[in-house]
């Protein structure tokens, strides 16, 4: 059901490094990958990097809810995959991390963000907490930019607690990025109001 909407939104890639990717088991993962492939939408999972032309995006998750909840999944070996030889192509780390309803990084997430910066990530974009961070943080004088959480884009949560944001990113030939954080309303509530 999501594929027509992804196409209408001009989605060119989908991150699959998150705590729900295995909710329907290995067959669900395989079915999702096949459906995305048929639709011509690229995908990237845990520790996988995807070349999107002007940038490379890498998927990482520090959470896994497969049966017993697992945390602290990001290892030095996974983080090392962020390092590239081409400094003119910025690396964006798309990270599934954090605690629900908390829009600021924990000590571990601050450490991980700095480790990603040291490996060459120019932009670190987080998801999972269901609330959006209201700002971006520059690391090491601007070596990397961090958006701890984008919150919800569209998720079945009503009320004032959930929030979301879009991140607009422009990449320049010399390998620099411009980013702008744009808050969005609770689209689930808006869709419900429109249906009534």
pLDDT above 70 covers a percentage of the chain that reads 96
Least confident of 7-16, 37-46, 117-126, 153-162: 153-162
Residue 66: per-residue pLDDT: 58
Q: How many helices and strands, by DSSP H and E, does the chain display?
A: 5, 12
CB neighbourhood size of 67 (10 A): 7
Average pLDDT over residues 104-126: 96
- 47-195 belongs to CATH 3.30.750.180: yes
Residue 68: per-residue pLDDT: 59
Binned at pLDDT 50, 70 and 90, residue 107 comes out as very high
Residue 159: per-residue pLDDT: 84
For 145-191, how does the pLDDT look when each residue is reduced to its tens digit (9 = 90+)? 999 999 998 888 888 889 999 999 999 988 889 999 999 988 888 87
Rounded Cα gap, residues 177 and 90, in angstroms: 7
pLDDT above 90 covers a percentage of the chain that reads 66
Buried b (16+ CB within 10 A) or exposed e, 150-177: bbbeeeeeeeeebbbbebebebeeeeeb
The encoded tokens of residue 69 equal: 């909840």
Average pLDDT over residues 4-19: 92
Is pLDDT of 126 > 80?
yes
Is pLDDT of 10 > 60?
yes
């Amino acid at each position: 059901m999501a594929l027509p909407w992804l196409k209408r939104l001009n989605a060119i890639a989908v991150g699959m490094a998150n705590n729900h990717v295995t909710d329907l088991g290995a067959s669900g993962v395989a079915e999702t990958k096949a459906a995305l492939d048929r639709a011509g939408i690229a995908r990237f999972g845990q520790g996988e990097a995807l070349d999107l032309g002007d940038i490379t995006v890498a998927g990482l998750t520090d959470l896994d809810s497969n049966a017993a909840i697992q945390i602290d999944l990001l290892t030095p070996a996974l983080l090392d995959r962020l390092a590239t030889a081409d400094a003119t192509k910025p690396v964006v780390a798309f990270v599934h991390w954090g605690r629900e309803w908390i829009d600021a990084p924990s000590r571990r997430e601050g450490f991980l963000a700095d480790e990603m910066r040291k490996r060459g990530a120019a932009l670190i974009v987080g998801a999972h907490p269901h609330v959006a961070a209201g700002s971006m943080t520059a690391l090491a004088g601007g070596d990397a930019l961090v958006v701890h959480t984008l919150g919800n884009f569209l998720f079945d949560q009503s009320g004032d607690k959930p929030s979301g944001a879009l991140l607009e990113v422009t990449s320049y030939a010399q390998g620099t990025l411009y980013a702008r954080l744009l808050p969005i309303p609770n689209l689930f509530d808006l869709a419900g109001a429109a249906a009534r």
